[in-house]
Copies of this chain bind each other. A is one copy, B any other.
Amino acid sequence: MFILKHFRIKKYQILRNVRYIQTKSIKNILDLKEHELSDSEVRIIGWVKSFRDQKEIKFIHLNDGTDGRNLQLVCLAENFPNKDNFSNISNSISFNTSLEVHGKVVKSTHKLQNYDLQVTELKIIGPCNPLEYPFKQKIKQTLESIRPHIHLRSHVDQFADIMKFRSELVSSIHNFFYQNNFTQVHTPIITSNNCEGGCETFQVTLNDYDRGLEIIKKDSINQMDELNSRHFFSKPVYLTASAQLHLETMTTSLGNVYTLSPTFRAEKSMTRHHLAEFYMLEAEMIDMNSLDQILDLTENFLKQVSLKTYDVFDKNLLHLILNKNKPKTSGLEYIEKITNTFNSKKFVRITYQEALDILNKLLNTKKYSKLIKKKIEFGEDMNKEQEKLLVEYFQDTPVFVTKYPKSIKPFYMRQSEDNEKLVENFDLLAPHVGEIIGGSLREHRIDLLNDAIKNQDLEPQVFDLYLETKKFGAMRMGGWGLGLERFMQFLINIENIRDVSSFPRSLYNCKM
């Protein structure tokens, strides 16, 4: 009862013929049943996706974003009483012009579509000068070629469809947590916590940073003090690199919580796997007592959300995303392979030590000598190429790598019962992209937390409030963080992370 069922259907009184004309979405029209066809006129709006011009007839393919399919508009000279209006169509319409069109839905004579719109009136809303417009009707764009036009990318179907997939995926994620009784928490972006994980962060200052530099240049210590005192929050603050510590504090009385929130890294890297601003899904669950327990949950989450998203997402659009500039089958084969793996296989679970043993075994094989140049010693981290190799080794099944050395992991991870050099953590490695999730059981014993902070040369006062929460009814917990963009790259086989983000930010790159 709460849903606005006919949200997209609006009514207009057109004085010309004194009757109501329904505004239909293109999806409405393409999904019509045959018995629903009527003589009444409809009104649609949309963007021209292609245009074919003949003397007595003009064909336009129009799209309004409601469907992967276009609607074919048929403009017949005989339907335009004013001949000038008809011939003007050719001059004023081009690729991506936006239109308001009135006409009648009729059965199509073309076998590729069910219905055409026979146009009786056509108005330009926004022209599109083909000489200035960077995209051309007859030249197929690649994701790479449209990337510099960050403000116009959604005009191109493949990118628009990627954005739609992201929206569907996000919706599946929220549904999963809602149905499993998690509370969604909006954790803060601005934080006084500089770097629990040892990563580079951004600082947030007042808007007069550059003016401040000018003041100081003129060399006055008083002015310098004045500038220092200008901290809006009365101390230096940063953009969050992870919401985990905040989430942990929210579990008492709330139980399981999650957040899907922007996170920031000022790493000076320009790879196709890194962004300076990205979305991280972080979940924190109470009463977590063993690695297998959290691994089971994580595996279930990933499989369910992925399969659900594939299932409900428009198959035509999936086709478009995957097969642009590629042979017809490769993309769908990719999805089918993942779907099969997710439906039938359990993810691989190995320890960090076992992972090293496998990689070091491959050390002297010709095929991998470029990736593994020397033996990886206990205490060293694996690089992205080595992570991908591990997944390959297990025939592209996702791999949980568990129990890393305590020395290379954050202080809040729970120390293993059986080996105090290890922590109860995991990384999940996915085919093609490597790590997409990192998680662990959390240390709730305050003495061990204090030791870990000391051993890692961190400043305890940065974590004073977090540590205090462990003094009052601490709970055994576990949680993880998933990089949303990397997950997308994996799910729809997109090589460059910039192509799954609406406005990607990276080193030297922040347009608009």
When each residue 448-475 of chain A gets 1 if its CB lies under 8 Å from chain B and 0 otherwise, what string results? 0000000000000000011011111111
User: How far is it, in angstroms, between the C-alpha of A181 and the C-alpha of B132 when the chains are bound?
Assistant: 32
User: How far is it, in angstroms, between the C-alpha of A510 and the C-alpha of B502 when the chains are bound?
Assistant: 29
Residue pair B150, A465 in contact (C-beta under 8 Å): yes
Residue pair B246, A469 in contact (C-beta under 8 Å): no
User: How far is it, in angstroms, between the C-alpha of A54 and the C-alpha of B125 when the chains are bound?
Assistant: 79
Q: Which one of A108-116, A219-227, A352-360, A373-381 is at the interface?
A: A219-227
Q: Which one of A202-210, A398-406, A413-421 is at the interface?
A: A202-210
Residue pair B469, A252 in contact (C-beta under 8 Å): no
Question: Which residues of A, 483-507, contact B by the 8 Å Cβ criterion?
Answer: 501-503, 505, 507
Residue pair B512, A193 in contact (C-beta under 8 Å): yes
Residue pair A509, B470 in contact (C-beta under 8 Å): no
Residue of B nearest to A178 (CB): B171
Residue pair B512, A191 in contact (C-beta under 8 Å): yes
User: How far is it, in angstroms, between the C-alpha of A3 and the C-alpha of B250 when the chains are bound?
Assistant: 25
Residue of B nearest to A210 (CB): B236
Q: Which one of A31-39, A58-66, A78-86, A136-144 is at the interface?
A: A58-66
Which residues on B sit within 8 Å (CB–CB) of A47?
252-253, 473, 475
Residue of B nearest to A157 (CB): B253
Does A51 belong to the interface (CB within 8 Å)? no
When each residue 196-235 of chain A gets 1 if its CB lies under 8 Å from chain B and 0 otherwise, what string results? 0000111111111110110011010100100110001111
* Other-chain residue from B156, B180, B227, B502 in contact with A187 (beta carbon distance below 8 A): B502
Which residues on B sit within 8 Å (CB–CB) of A289?
12
CB within 8 Å for A512 and B466 given contacts A171-B178, A180-B7, A206-B203: yes
Q: How far is the CB of A149 from chain B (nearest CB, A)?
A: 9
Which of A171, A237, A249: most chain B Cβ within 10 A? A249
Which residues on B sit within 8 Å (CB–CB) of A127?
473
* Other-chain residue from B207, B503, B509 in contact with A203 (beta carbon distance below 8 A): B207
User: How far is it, in angstroms, between the C-alpha of A64 and the C-alpha of B151 when the chains are bound?
Assistant: 47
Which residues on B sit within 8 Å (CB–CB) of A181?
7-8, 25, 27, 66
Which residues on B sit within 8 Å (CB–CB) of A510?
188, 190-192, 233, 235, 237
CB within 8 Å for A206 and B266 given contacts A246-B502, A304-B3: yes
Q: How far is the CB of A247 from chain B (nearest CB, A)?
A: 9
Q: How far is the CB of A204 from chain B (nearest CB, A)?
A: 5
Which residues on B sit within 8 Å (CB–CB) of A128?
471-473
Residue of B nearest to A26 (CB): B255
User: How far is it, in angstroms, between the C-alpha of A24 and the C-alpha of B310 when the chains are bound?
Assistant: 32
User: How far is it, in angstroms, between the C-alpha of A191 and the C-alpha of B262 when the chains are bound?
Assistant: 13
Residue pair B232, A474 in contact (C-beta under 8 Å): no
Which residues on B sit within 8 Å (CB–CB) of A251?
65, 154
Residue pair B189, A262 in contact (C-beta under 8 Å): yes
Residue pair A475, B204 in contact (C-beta under 8 Å): no
* Other-chain residue from B27, B155, B261, B276 in contact with A473 (beta carbon distance below 8 A): B155
Number of A positions contacting B (CB below 8 A): 138
* Other-chain residue from B174, B228, B255, B266 in contact with A171 (beta carbon distance below 8 A): B174
User: How far is it, in angstroms, between the C-alpha of A100 and the C-alpha of B474 when the chains are bound?
Assistant: 12
Which residues on B sit within 8 Å (CB–CB) of A129?
471-472
Residue pair A213, B203 in contact (C-beta under 8 Å): no
Does A167 belong to the interface (CB within 8 Å)? yes
Residue of B nearest to A187 (CB): B502
Does A185 belong to the interface (CB within 8 Å)? yes
User: How far is it, in angstroms, between the C-alpha of A286 and the C-alpha of B100 when the chains are bound?
Assistant: 12
Q: How far is the CB of A101 from chain B (nearest CB, A)?
A: 12
Give A contacts to B, CB under 8 Å: 2-4, 7-8, 10, 12, 23, 25, 27, 45, 47-48, 63-66, 96-98, 100, 125-129, 132-133, 150-152, 154-157, 160, 163-164, 166-167, 170-171, 174, 176, 178-181, 183-194, 200-210, 212-213, 216-217, 219, 221, 224, 227-228, 232-239, 245-246, 249-256, 261-262, 264, 266, 268, 276-277, 279, 286-287, 289, 293, 297, 300-301, 304, 307-308, 444, 465-466, 468-476, 501-503, 505, 507-512
- Which 5 A-B residue pairs are closest in the complex by CB-CB distance? A65-B255, A126-B474, A160-B253, A233-B510, A151-B465
